[in-house]
Amino acid sequence: MTTPTRPRTLRARLLAYVSDATGRLTAAWKILTRARDTLIGTLAGIRPGRAASARIRAAGMAFQQQLADFDRNMLAWIERWAATDLPLLYREGALAMLDRADRPHNAWSWTALHQAAITALSAQYYADLMGRLREALRRARAFLRAALDAARVRHSRFETAVFDRDALRRDHPLDTVIYANSARHPVDSWARSAVSWQAVTSANAGAARTAWEQLGVTQVKVVDGSGCGWRNHSDPDRADGSLRDIEDALTHPVAHANCVREFLPHFPRPATFPGALA
């Protein structure tokens, strides 16, 4: 039984998905950073006078419109990623597992098991990304208030006040994402890491469940970086070349961001007939 060779390896296909999705995500985020820089430049250029207050209000309204554009573009990206891209990635992993077992692709379908699995993954990652969006909007609104307050102080009776552009950028780095440990990472770095994690997790989940349901195997062989641990990168339990139960594989589909882990089907050798080698 022969399956036609697919044009690219699973890893190459995942990288293509990750690159495209990361590009779209960072492009959407640039709406926010451009809006920040535009507002700072506009407010810094407003001269004292009767029209200053009106121009400050107009600049704030323009930022709010750009913020709405950012919200709309990010929401569209998140919805496409969760509803369309992740199921495709799950299916890519599933079909790659069939390829490795030399089985035809028509042996696979969206069974109840696969539907439940991708629904849970999509819901989890949708919620994670929506949390990032809400946090970005909160930080952007805080920046807007700070920028408008600084501009109003400058044009009030305190005419000697300085509109400090650098301080606004330093105190409100909207081109970064804040992690749980309070560390800040550039948006493009976070985007690639998050997209890669979710893509590989989805593909490996599809592969492991296909090994179980369509191939009837209880273990998979792990292909990973030579120094990568099983639960995390520094875990002394090395992943590459090891055999793992399906449940364990589903629990640890990746070990860290940008992980290159893949699963192969493991078919146990049949028992040798007594005396056959005598």
Predicted local distance difference test score (pLDDT) of residue 158? 55
Whole-structure pTM value: 0.88
Up-side HSE of residue 3: CA atoms within 13 Å toward CB? Answer: 16
Give mean pLDDT, residues 117-125: 97
pLDDT in tens, 215-263: 999 999 999 988 899 998 888 999 999 999 999 999 999 998 888 899 9
Give, in order, the Cα–Cα distances in Å from 220 to each of 34, 61, 72, 202: 47, 56, 41, 16
Are 187 and 175 contacting, i.e. CB atoms less than 8 angstroms apart? yes
How far is it, in rounded angstroms, from Cα 257 to Cα 259? Answer: 5
162 vs 251, more confident: 251
Q: Are 14 and 95 in contact (CB under 8 A)?
A: no
What pLDDT, on a 0 to 100 scale, did the predictor assign at position 154?
A: 78
Q: What angle do CA 124, 127, 133 make, to 5 degrees?
A: 145
pLDDT in tens, 59-109: 999 999 999 999 999 999 999 999 999 999 999 999 999 999 999 999 999
Residue ranges covered by each domain of the chain: 10-265
pLDDT bin (cut points 50, 70, 90) of residue 10 is confident
